[in-house]
Structure 1
Amino acid sequence: MSYQPLLLSFDEAAVLAEELEKNSLLGRGLRRDMAKVKAYMDSIGIEVPTKQGEAGGYEHNRHKQNYIIMDIAARLFLITKNDMYRDYIVTILTKYAHVYPELEDNTSRDSNPPGKLFHQTLNENMWMLYASCAYSCVYHTLTDDERTLITENLFKPMIHMFVVTYGKDFDIVHNHGLWAVAAVGICGYAIGDQESVDKALYGLKLDRTSGGFLAQLDNLFSPDGYYMEGPYYHRFSLRPIFLFAETIERRQPELKIYEYNNSVIKTTSYAVMATAFPDGSLPALNDSSKTISINDEGVIIATSVCFQRYEQNDTLISMANHQQDVWIHTSGAALSTAVSTAKKIKPFSWGSIFLSDGPKGEKGGVSILRHRDSEEDDTMVLLWFGQHGSDHQYHSALDHGHYDGLHMSVFNRGHEVLQDYGFGRWVNVEPKFGGRYIPENKTYCKQTVAHNTVVVDQKTQNKFNTALAETKFGQKHFFEVEDTKLQGVSAIIEDYYDGVTMQRSILVADIEEFEKPLVIDVYRILSDEEHEYDLPFHFKGQIIRTDFDYSIPAKLSPLGADNGYQHLWKTGEGKVEGSALVSWLHDSSYYSLVSTAPKGGEVIFARIGANDPDFNLRAEPAFILRQSGSNHVFASVLETHGYFNESIEASDGARGLVSEIEVLAENADGTVIEIKTVTGSVYRFGISNRSTGEQSNEHTIPASHEVFSWKGAFSEL
Structure 2
Amino acid sequence: MSYQPLLISYQQAADLRQHVGADSLIGRSIAEEIQALEAYMPIGIEIPGHGEAGGYEHNRHKQNYIHLDLAGRLYLITGEQRYLDYATTMLVEYAKVYKHRDLNISRDTNKPGRLFHQTLNENMWMLYSSCAYSCIRHELTEDQQQLIENDLFKVMLEMFVVTYAENFDIIHNHGLWSVASAGICAYAINDQATVDKALYGLKGDSVSGGFIAQLTQLFSPDGYYMEGPYYHRFSLRPIFLFAEAIERRQPEVGIYKLKNEVIKTTAYAVMSTAFPDGTLPALNDSSRTMDIKDLGILLATNICFERYEQNETLLAMAKHQDHVWVHNTGATLSNALENNAEVPNFNWGSLSLTDGAAGECGGVTILRHRDAKSDDSMALLWYGQHGSDAKLHSALDHGHFDGLHLSLFNNNQEFINDYGYGRWVNIEPKFGGRYIPENKSYCKQTVAHNTVVVDQTSQNQGVTAIAQQHNGEKHFTILGNQSDNGKLQAMSAFARDYYTGVDQQRTVIMLESEEFEKPLIIDLFRMISEEEHTYDYPVHYKGQIIRTDFEYQTHKSLNTLGDAHGYQHLWNLGQGKVEGSSLTTWLMGDSYYSLISSANADSEVIFSRTGANDPDFNLRNEPMFMLRQKAADHLFANVYETHGYFNESVEASLNARGQVDSVEVLLNDQVASVISINLVNDKKLTVCVSNVVGVDENTTSDVTVDGQSISWKGPVVIK
- Which TM class, normalised by the smaller chain length? over 0.9
Q: Is the 1:228–1:387 contact (alpha carbons within 8 Å) kept by the matching residues of 2? A: yes
Instruction: Write the distance in 1 (CA, Å) between the matches of 2:233 and 2:594.
Output: 34
1:45 paired with 2:44, answer yes
State the match for 2:252 in structure 1: 254
> Which of 167, 170, 194 pairs up with 2:168?
170
1:17 matched residue in structure 2: 17
Contact 2:695–2:715 (8 Å) recurs in 1: no
Q: Take 1:636 and 1:10, find their aligned partners in 2: how far apart are those partners?
A: 61
- Kindly indicate whether residue 22 of structure 2 is the aligned counterpart of residue 26 of structure 1: no
Q: CA deviation at 1:394?
A: 4.5
SS of 2:557's equivalent?
coil
Task: Indicate conservation of the 8 Å contact 1:559/1:570, yes or no.
Answer: yes
Q: What amino acid sits opposite 2:13 in the alignment?
A: A
CA distance, structure 2, for counterparts of residue 714 and residue 333 of structure 1:
48
Report the 3-state secondary structure (helix = DSSP H, G, I; strand = E; otherwise coil) of the residue aligned with 2:96.
Answer: helix
Does structure 2 retain, via aligned residues, the 8 Å contact 1:688–1:695?
Answer: no
Does structure 2 retain, via aligned residues, the 8 Å contact 1:174–1:398?
A: no
| SS across alignment from 1:501 | strand
1:586 CA drift (Å) = 0.5
Q: Which runs of 5+ in 2 are unaligned?
A: none
1:36 aligns with 2:36: yes
Residue 711 (str. 1) matches residue 713 (str. 2) = yes
Indicate the SS of the match to 2:157. helix
Name 1:389's counterpart in structure 2. 387
CA distance in 1, matches of 2:337, 2:421: 35
Structure 1 620/425 Cα, relative in aligned 2: closer, same or farther at 3 Å?
Answer: same
Residue matched to 2:639: 637
| One-letter identity of the residue aligned with 1:447 | Q
Distance 2:31 2:479 in 1: 44
Q: Which residue of 2 aligns with 1:91?
A: 89
Q: Secondary structure at the match of 1:322?
A: helix
Cα distance between partner residues in 2 of 1:423 and 1:449: 14
Counterpart secondary structure, 1:571: strand
Give distance in 2, aligned partners of 1:656 and 1:29.
46
Structure 1 residue 87 displacement after superposition = 0.8
Distance (whole Å) between structure 2 residues aligned to residue 397 and residue 113 of structure 1: 11
Match of 2:625 among 623, 626, 650: 623
Q: 1:338 aligns with which of 326, 336, 339?
A: 336
Does residue 328 in structure 1 map to residue 326 in structure 2?
Answer: yes
Task: Please tell me whether residue 545 in structure 1 is matched to residue 547 in structure 2.
Answer: yes
Comparing 496-505 and 387-396, the one that deviates more: 387-396
The aligned counterpart of 1:119 is 117
Q: Please report how far the alpha carbon of residue 667 of structure 1 lies from its aligned counterpart in structure 2 after TM superposition.
A: 2.1
Deviation at 1:677, TM superposition (A): 1.1
Counterpart Cα distance in 2 of 1:175 and 1:277: 23
SS at 1:315 equivalent: helix
- AA of the residue aligned to 1:114: P
Does the Cα contact within 8 Å between 1:391 and 1:470 map onto a contact in 2? no
Provide, for residues 422-458 of structure 1, a one-character-per-residue CA deviation record: whole Å limited to 9, x for no partner. 0001111111111111110000000000000010000
Alpha-carbon offset, residue 705 of structure 1: 2.4
1:563 maps to which of 562, 565, 578: 565
Change in Cα spacing, 1:694 to 1:599, as seen in structure 2 (3 Å) is: farther
SS at the partner of 2:470? coil
Q: Could you tell me which of 130, 142, 159 is aligned with 2:140? A: 142
Letter in 2 for 1:499: G
Once the two structures are TM-superposed, the CA of residue 343 in structure 1 deviates from its matched residue by: 4.8
8 Å CA contact 2:696–2:715 kept in 1: the answer is no
- The one-letter amino acid of 1:24's match is S
- The 8 Å contact of residues 478 and 713 in structure 1, kept in 2 or not, is answered as yes
Task: Measure, in 1, the Cα distance between the counterparts of 2:461 and 2:391.
Answer: 19
Aligned counterpart for 2:235 among listed residues 234, 237, 254: 237
- Asked if structure 1 preserves the Cα contact closer than 8 Å seen for 2:560 and 2:571, the reply is yes
Query: For 1:349, which of 347, 350, 375 is the aligned residue?
Result: 347
Q: 1:599 aligns with which of 592, 601, 604?
A: 601
**What is the match of residue 446 of structure 1?**
444
**TM-fit CA distance, 1:694:** 5.9
2: CA distance, partners of 1:37 / 1:343: 29
Tell me whether 1:206 sits opposite 2:218 in the alignment.
no
**Aligned partner of 2:517: which letter?**
E
- Whether the 8 Å contact between 2:167 and 2:392 is mirrored in structure 1 is no
Asked if 1:265 is matched to 2:263, the reply is yes
Q: Which whole-Å CA distance do the structure 2 matches of 1:706 and 1:26 have between them? A: 65
What is the Cα deviation at residue 628 of structure 1? 0.6
Per mean C-alpha deviation after superposition, the further-off stretch among 73-82 and 567-576 is: 73-82
SS at match of 2:673: strand
Is residue 651 of structure 2 the alignment partner of residue 649 of structure 1? yes
1:359 correspondence with 2:361: no
Residue type at the aligned position of 2:7: L
**TM-score of the superposed pair, with normalisation by structure 2:** 0.99
Residue in 2 that maps onto 1:613: 615
DSSP 3-state at the match of 2:246: helix
- Written as runs of structure 1 = structure 2, the 5 A alignment for 1:271-420 is 271-420=269-418
**1:277-334 residue CA offsets vs partner (Å, 9 max, x unmatched):** 0000000000001110001000000000000000000000000000101111111111
Q: Which residue of 2 aligns with 1:659?
A: 661
Match of 1:535 among 534, 537, 542: 537
CA apart distance, 1:247? 0.2
Q: Which amino acid is the alignment partner of residue 34 of structure 1? A: I
Please, which moves more after superposition, 681-690 or 575-584?
681-690
Q: Distance in 2 between matches of 1:380 and 1:563?
A: 29
Aligned residues: 715
1:384–1:408 Cα contact (<8 Å) kept: yes
SS in 1 for 2:558: coil
Note if contact 2:227-2:389 (Cα within 8 Å) is conserved in structure 1.
no
Q: Contact conserved, 1:578 with 1:600, CA < 8 A, in 2?
A: no
Secondary structure at 2:310 match in 1:
coil
Please give the alpha-carbon distance, in whole angstroms, between the structure 1 residues aligned to 2:52 and 2:500.
45
Q: Tell me which amino acid in the other structure corresponds to 1:15.
A: D
State the distance in 2 between where 1:351 and 1:704 align.
Answer: 39
Could you say what secondary structure the match of 2:553 adopts?
Answer: coil
Structure 2 partner of 1:427: 425
Q: What secondary structure sits across from 1:339 in the alignment?
A: helix
What's the secondary structure of 2:547's corresponding residue? strand
Superposed CA offset, 1:210-238 (max 9, x none):
11111111111000000000000000000
Distance 2:75 2:392 in 1: 41
**Aligned counterpart in structure 1 of residue 222 of structure 2, from 221, 224, 248:** 224
Q: What residue identity is the alignment partner of 1:80?
A: T
1:476 is aligned with what amino acid? K
Q: Using the TM superposition, give the Cα deviation of residue 396 of structure 1 relative to its aligned residue in structure 2, in angstroms.
A: 2.6
Aligned to 1:488: 490
What TM-score comes out, normalization by structure 1 length? Answer: 0.99
Residue from 495, 517, 520 that aligns with 2:519: 517
Cα offsets for 1:576-634 (capped at 9, x unmatched): 00001010000000000000002331000000010000000000000000001100000
CA contact (8 A) 1:531 1:628 kept: yes
- Equivalent in the alignment of 1:132: 130
Q: Which residue of 2 aligns with 1:471?
A: 469
Match for 1:46: what amino acid?
Answer: I
Question: Partners of 1:29 and 1:507 in 2: how far apart?
Answer: 42
For residues 273 and 605 of structure 2, the distance between their equivalents in structure 1, rounded to whole angstroms, comes to 31
Q: Which runs of 4+ in 1 moved over 4 A?
A: none
Q: 1:343 to 1:429 in 2, by over 3 A?
A: closer
CA distance in 1, matches of 2:622, 2:437: 18
Q: Deviations over 1:393-425 (max 9, x none)?
A: 454343100000000000110111000000001
Alignment partners' CA distance in 1, 2:467 and 2:50:
39
Contact 2:600–2:629 under 8 Å retained in 1: no
Q: Secondary structure at the match of 1:692?
A: coil
Q: Find the partner of 1:182 among 173, 180, 183.
A: 180
Amino acid at match of 2:565: N
Give 3-state SS (helix, strand or coil) of 1:320's partner: helix
- Pairwise CA RMSD of aligned residues? 0.9
Q: CA deviation at 1:68?
A: 0.3
Q: Amino acid of the residue matched to residue 235 of structure 2? A: S
Q: What is the CA distance between 1:47 and its match in structure 2?
A: 1.4
Which whole-Å CA distance do the structure 1 matches of 2:270 and 2:331 have between them?
A: 22
Q: Is the 8 A contact 1:289 1:423 kept in 2?
A: yes
Q: For 2:285, what is the secondary structure of its paired residue?
A: coil
